[in-house]
Amino acid sequence: MLALVLTLFAHTGSAAFALPAPLVHPARAADGHWTTAKPLPEPLLEMGGTVLDGKIYIAGGIDGHGKPTAHAYRYDPATDSWERLPDLPAPRHHMPLAAAGGMVYALGGLSGTDFRSERTVWAFSPGRGTWAPRADLPRPRGASAAAVVNGKIVVVGGLQRIADGGLVDVTNVYDPGTDSWHPGLPILTKRDHLAATTVKSIIYVFGGRLLSADHNYDYMETYEQQHDIWTKAEQMPSPRAAFGAAELDNKIHLLGGEDRTEVFAAHDVFDPAKRVWSTDAPLPTPRHGCAVLALDGKIYVIGGGVRPGFSESDVVEVFTP
């Protein structure tokens, strides 16, 4: 999405420990299948998504007219139906959502068509049906990733205003109980348009890029929030950015993404217990900037762009292992 050409290099720190090389893509036939669900009420790109109490929440993004939006929706898989929710307090895109303590949190993101990074944090209460401000992020950041571990929200990677230095490396940890942020050690490789998810209290961070689709990464790093430890881990099967990651049955599924010329249908699966990469049924509609979420034993891939750069879709496809 962000075609910024800068002379800026990723910061790579020292890993706490190094893991031996994993098995990458052992021969295995895809054994899952895809179906379609009710489309999004409107085409969207780079919106946030999360799951709370058996329902999917989507907020913000870039709409079918190429403009940032404040729209928010909730999907109920039991009825295959979408519900319009109250708008965000302001339009945002490239803004991660996370669910913790019975609330949905909208974390920073970018605003405007000039992609200004923001510090705002808003919490949506399903009971009240309203968005309310919470403690701002310590610094503005968009195109970041968020994961929840031990009841806390961890925000990693992303970018800020170029005048402020480009990429963000500091890890920010939010405690919903105290409405406060605490710093964690910097991510080992600064990057934006990355993906993150949690398996057994460890956050796995994948891919991303150096400000441009010409510079995608195949890095995976892990973060143990309780001990504030980053570790350089297994290499991904291929570089990718602007994709999604979801945990299902203690395995991590990576779906979609883009580079300068191509949108990916790739469906890579990482098993942290065996430290093995494999593949499964590719995404029927290749997309980037989509929401990838696991719910009730299935993975939902929602919206996103069908061409590199700016494009939007309302497609919702569901993977069943």
Cβ–Cβ < 8 Å for 247, 198: yes
| CB neighbourhood size of 298 (10 A) | 17
Mean pLDDT of 278-296: 97
Identify the band that residue 312 occupies on the pLDDT scale cut at 50, 70 and 90: very high
Report the alpha-carbon angle 111-316-288, nearest 5: 50
pLDDT for 28 equals: 52
Structural tokens at position 4: 């910024």
Is the pLDDT at 23 greater than 60? The verdict is: no
* Res. 223 pLDDT band, cuts 50 70 90: very high
> pLDDT at position 234, please?
86
Domains and CATH numbers, the chain: 33-320 (2.120.10.80)
Higher-pLDDT residue of 29 and 10 is 29
Q: Give yes or no for residue 291 having a pLDDT over 70.
A: yes
pLDDT at 27: 39
60, 75 in Cβ contact below 8 A? no
